[in-house]
Amino acid sequence: MGKSLRSRLALTLIKKKLPELMSADPVAQMGDGLHIAVVGSGSPLPDPKRGNPCICVIARGKVYVVDAGEGSSQTMNRMRIAPERIAAVLMTHYHSDHIGGLGSVNLMRWVSDASLPALRVIGPPGVEQVIGGFNQAYELDDSYRVGHHGPGIINPESARMVPAEYSFPEGERSKVVLEEDGLKVTAFTVEHPPVEPVVGYRFDYQGRSAVVSGDTIYCQNLIDNSKGADLLLHDALSIELLNLVEDAAGKAGLSARKQILTDVEDYHATAPRRQTQPARPASEPWRSPTSFRHFR
């Protein structure tokens, strides 16, 4: 097939498909319930099939984003999660792979609807520093876009993310940090030493519940806060795979990288080793790790 014919075919297909893609809004099709989208489940190690950590919890048409690692807004776009539906971001902690996509998530939401209020970013201590840094880094870009499109299209008042910091009362390890439209969000401490603070979140909505662990090792407070939940999304790494990468780094003479990979083992939970995993019944369909889960 000639190059010009291929180009014409591609343009014809794009012309046909684009209006459908631009108006797609799967969140609007979801019934009233608690819905979970695994947007990113990867690590800082490069992986073409997994973005960095990002979970979307959807209730009553609003999207609550837990962490926004690099690539989050691009994957949300591919999943057709409309950025204007994002009601808030909740941070578990401030490792780079959990914050790298914040600027882009905010930008995509900000430019999508001039009537939206500024994006709330709710998190434990540290959120003001992180969000202050992002706001400063994007200040020039914000001014270019307002100058180019005009304040009627791009609202300069809502460019900057608004940090909402919370802490736990003395002796407490959980706290309700958000209650709106029937959704209750409880933050609770988990263990990811030496990083401090690190939290997980429990979402309760209309008798259904989902828990996002954040990065953690085995943690009793996570178990306590996950009681009766319909779904637990738990941090885990594959020791088998990590050991292979460590060995390869050692053989390549990359001693610092080998040490970093070895250190990583002590602050994440581990997935069951392959031979101890129960076989999946043939009747159970395979489910993609990047997908929606619905609870009604």
**Which residues in this chain contact Zn ion in the complex, by CB under 5 A?**
95, 215
Closer of 70 and 215 to Zn ion (Cβ): 215
In the complex, the smallest distance separating the C-beta of residue 192 from Zn ion, rounded to whole angstroms, is 5
Closer of 50 and 109 to Zn ion (Cβ): 50
In the complex, the smallest distance separating the C-beta of residue 85 from Zn ion, rounded to whole angstroms, is 27
Amino acid at 135: N
Closer of 103 and 214 to Zn ion (Cβ): 214
Closer of 215 and 246 to Zn ion (Cβ): 215
In the complex, the smallest distance separating the C-beta of residue 96 from Zn ion, rounded to whole angstroms, is 9
* Residue ranges in the chain assigned as alpha helix (H): 3-23, 26-29, 72-78, 96-99, 102-110, 127-137, 139-149, 220-225, 239-251, 255-264
Closer of 53 and 103 to Zn ion (Cβ): 53
In the complex, the smallest distance separating the C-beta of residue 98 from Zn ion, rounded to whole angstroms, is 6
Considering only CA atoms, which of 181, 182, 183, 217 is closest in space to residue 200?
217
Neighbouring residues of 274: CB distance < 8 A, sequence distance ≥ 6: 240
Find where tokens 């048409």 sit: 61
In the complex, the smallest distance separating the C-beta of residue 15 from Zn ion, rounded to whole angstroms, is 44
CA distances to 14, 57, 250, 252 from 199, in Å:
43, 16, 33, 36
